[in-house]
Amino acid sequence: MNEYKMSKVNTNKSMFNSKIWCLIIYIQYMTLPLKQVSSRFVILDFLVVGAGIILSLLVNGVSKKFLKYLLIILIVYLIDFLLFRNTTSISFFLIPMIKSSLLMLYCTLSLDKLDDFESVYYKYSLMTLCSVLVYLAIYITTGISATSHMGIGNVLTFIFIAILINQYRFNKRLDFVLLLVIIALTLFFANRMAIISELSCFLFVVNYKKSLNLIVKRVFILIVAVPCFALLITNLDKFFMLISPLIDTNGEMYYSLMKFQRMFTNSDGIFAGLIQSSSGRNLLYDQALLLFKESSFFPRGIAGFYYQDVSGYIFRYPHNIFLEMLTTFGFLAPLVFVMFIAYSSIRISKMKNQQKILTIVFFIFSITKLLVSSSFWLAPSFGILIGLLGSNLRESDKV
């Protein structure tokens, strides 16, 4: 009887931690339709996240594993401050990090049973997808926006991952249909990197399955998809003329399609189109390389990147993980990157199948996102990845 009660308590705790994780990720998107009515509803996001953190601390306390990560991070920031005397690393990176990547690291390390987490993650993703659909319907009819295109891309990718994992485990046709719907929504309403993240995760999971049935499906997809893709590439001008009515003149709607149109139809070629549609990121990349050379390849520190555009806005990171590592760690960047890859590989190799798939999918999501946006100090997805690499999630023996 005591063992039964203990098992039930552990299950309840596992479900609770999974729900807290999902709420902290999704609450800002669940309330999007409300925020279209009034921006005052943003207070709901803060209340839910705040209550979730307090309850999680009361239930779980602070694990030794999280304290170890926190200690390492604080030591890195202390060394950075002693070497470079730059308080921006504290004000711009460390403090915001507490409510973003560090928060998700804590929540991920608090997860216990993988089956419980994936079940809750899937259900909350479906609920959030409903909210996003309502939001997009209002957005299309009224033009009222409550988040950015990158925000929509971010939430759709989180939802995509949950449904993709569920489809892999249970092979439901409805999940496959939902995956196609999400890719379509991402193409029309989100950003290009979200599409790349989703397709990359999808290709990994599909190729992870090693059944004859799937091999046949893959061959069929290749036979159909490759000619279609070739036909599309060779007739891009006609394709964009066909879909041009879907792209409004100010680019507020169908943002990703507009970006692809600029990229592929530039008269000077795709590379010139990529620069034209990069929202000025090429300037950040050039600045990062310039700072790296000016410092004689030595580290510049966490807040070592600086760029001010013509409007006076200051950028503190170059929106690319590799360039950020170069400006932060200098000539040590390759060593840091190799150590991270080695650590990730060792940890993943020791995982069981179910956790391995989840971790690799979040690895793909996190790295592809960091290639064009955010900072590895601040990105919640990167905090989740580190948490998954460091966690010991329990899973059933069934695959």
Q: Give the model's pLDDT for residue 270.
A: 61
Mean pLDDT of 362-382: 95
Mean pLDDT, the chain, integer: 86
Domain match, 170 and 248 both: no
In a domain, 29, yes or no: yes
Domain match, 222 and 92 both: no
pTM, full prediction: 0.88
pLDDT in tens, 4-41: 444 554 568 999 999 999 999 999 999 999 999 999 99
- Residue 10, judged by CB atoms within 10 A of its CB (0-12, 13-18, 19+), counts as middle
In a domain, 320, yes or no: no
d(CA 69, CA 379): 16
Domain match, 52 and 83 both: yes
Final residue before a domain boundary, out of 211, 234, 265? 211
pLDDT in tens, 332-341: 999 999 999 9
Domain match, 230 and 168 both: no
Q: Give the model's pLDDT for residue 399.
A: 43
In a domain, 347, yes or no: no
Domain match, 104 and 206 both: yes
pLDDT more than 90, % of the chain:
66
> Which of the four pLDDT bands, split at 50, 70 and 90, describes residue 217?
low
In a domain, 79, yes or no: yes
Domain match, 204 and 67 both: yes
pLDDT in tens, 247-279: 554 444 566 666 766 666 666 666 666 666 667
pLDDT in tens, 32-49: 999 999 999 999 999 999
> Which of the four pLDDT bands, split at 50, 70 and 90, describes residue 310?
confident
pLDDT in tens, 80-117: 999 999 999 999 999 999 999 999 999 999 999 999 99
Q: Give the model's pLDDT for residue 4.
A: 46
Q: Give the model's pLDDT for residue 12.
A: 87
Domain match, 88 and 237 both: no
In a domain, 290, yes or no: no
Determine the structural domain holding residue 237 and report its residue range.
217-277
234 pLDDT more than 70: no
Domain match, 264 and 200 both: no
Domain match, 182 and 258 both: no
In a domain, 162, yes or no: yes
Final residue before a domain boundary, out of 154, 177, 211? 211
Q: How many domains does the chain have?
A: 2
Q: Give the model's pLDDT for residue 161.
A: 98
Final residue before a domain boundary, out of 182, 211, 240? 211
In a domain, 31, yes or no: yes
Domain match, 152 and 202 both: yes
Domain match, 191 and 256 both: no
Q: Give the model's pLDDT for residue 216.
A: 57
pLDDT in tens, 190-215: 888 898 899 999 989 988 866 555 55
Domain match, 186 and 223 both: no
pLDDT in tens, 127-151: 999 999 999 999 888 888 889 889 9
In a domain, 21, yes or no: yes
